[in-house]
Amino acid sequence: MASYLINRALHSIVSVLGLLVLVFFLARLTGDPSYLFLPLDASPEARQEFAQLHGFDQPLYIQFFTYLGDLLHLDFGTSMRQNRSAMEVALEAFPNTLQLAVIAIGLAVVLAIVVGSLSAARPGGLFDRIAGLFSLMGASAPDFWIAIVAILVFAVGFGLLPTSGTGTPLHWIMPIAVLTLRPFGLLVQVVRGSMITALASPYVKTARAKGVGDRSIIFVHALRNSMLPVVTVAGDLAAGLVNGAVVVETVFGWPGIGKLMIDAILQRDFAVVQSTILVTAIAIFLLNIAIDLIYAVLDPRIRYQTS
What's the confidence (pLDDT) of residue 1? 64
Q: What is the chain's pLDDT, residue by residue, as a tens digit (307 residues)?
A: 677 777 777 887 888 888 888 888 888 888 888 888 888 888 888 888 888 888 888 888 899 899 888 888 888 889 988 889 999 999 999 998 888 888 998 999 999 999 988 888 888 889 999 988 988 888 888 888 888 999 999 999 998 999 888 878 898 999 999 999 989 999 998 889 888 888 888 888 888 788 777 778 777 777 777 777 888 788 778 877 776 677 888 888 888 888 898 889 888 899 999 999 889 888 888 888 887 777 777 666 665 554 4
What's the confidence (pLDDT) of residue 299? 67
What's the confidence (pLDDT) of residue 115? 92
- Its pTM stands at 0.80
What's the confidence (pLDDT) of residue 235? 78
Determine if residue 262 is left, alpha or beta; phi over 0 gives left, psi from -120 to 50 gives alpha, anything else beta.
Answer: alpha
51-58 long-range contacts, CB within 8 A, separation 24+: 54/80, 56/32
What's the confidence (pLDDT) of residue 272? 92
- DSSP one-letter string for the chain: -HHHHHHHHHHHHHHHHHHHHHHHHHHHTT--THHHHS-TT--HHHHHHHHHHHTTTS-HHHHHHHHHHHHHTT---B-TTTSSBHHHHHHHHHHHHHHHHHHHHHHHHHHHHHHHHHHHHSTTSHHHHHHHHHHHHHHHS-HHHHHHHHIIIIIIIS--S-SS--SSTHHHHHHHHHHHHHHHHHHHHHHHHHHHHHHTSHHHHHHHHTT--HHHIIIIIIHHHTHHHHHHHHHHHHHHHHHHTHHHHHHHT--SHHHHHHHHHHTT-HHHHHHHHHHHHHHHHHHHHHHHHHHHHH-TT------
What's the confidence (pLDDT) of residue 243? 66
